[in-house]
Amino acid sequence: MTDSSPTAGQQTRSMTIPLVAFAAGAAVAVLIGVFGRAHDPTLDGTTTLGFHTVIQMKVVVTTVIGVLVVLQLLGALVLYGKLPITAPPWLGKAHRASGATALVLAVFVAYHCLWALGLEYGHLADGEKVGARTVIHGVLGCSVFGAAVVKVAAVRAKRAPGWFLPVAGGLLFTLFVAVVLTSAVWYYANYGLPDSHGY
């Protein structure tokens, strides 16, 4: 009788993929944070895309990201058969396309955060104390891109354990939601819709 259970070598190899991916993701998040501290914040090289301020532009683009991220979760649940809906044949491609769009938009917004403001904590140059929300938002913002590295590895890896892709996707979704809540949703709650009077 043949033994179909995985050998110790195969088990080690499959666990190696998530471990290396999480280490690479952590390194990416830390490097982004280090850049956010080392770079001198400036509005040079940023755009408002026609909105009144850079912040308002980020709020609007982040809202689009938030909608795409929720669609990603719903799409993933349908693809995994967790909702009582049969997945249409185009759903896989649409899921990949909207996920890639959300990531590209997030890179665009994060560039404007990192370049114009940086990773803020402690006190600003003018002595103003940085609030907890801002610190949490910055750390989460850096972590999103580490989680994106893990997620891309999980999609590409053929021999990783079955839990890796849903865990990587769930982590990226959770971090995205937290980043949107600590920025755009916070803005709407405090300033309402972006307009010529807002900040």
The site map against ligand HEM for 96-135 (x = CB under 6 A) is ----------x--xx--xx--x-xx-------------x-
Residues 56-94 as b/e (b if ≥16 CB within 10 A, e otherwise) read bbbbbbbbebbebbeebeebbebeeeeeeeeeeeebeee
142 binds ligand HEM (CB under 6 A): yes
Q: How far apart are CB 179 and ligand HEM at their closest, in Å?
A: 5
Q: Which is nearer to ligand HEM, 95 or 137 (CB)?
A: 137
Which residues, 6+ apart, have CB-to-CB distance to 64 below 8 Å?
105
Q: How far apart are CB 184 and ligand HEM at their closest, in Å?
A: 4
Query: Facing residues of 123 across strands?
Result: 129
29 binds ligand HEM (CB under 6 A): no
Q: Which residues contact ligand HEM by CB under 6 A?
A: 32, 36, 55, 58-59, 62, 65, 106, 109-110, 113-114, 117, 119-120, 134, 137-138, 141-142, 144, 179-180, 183-184, 186-187
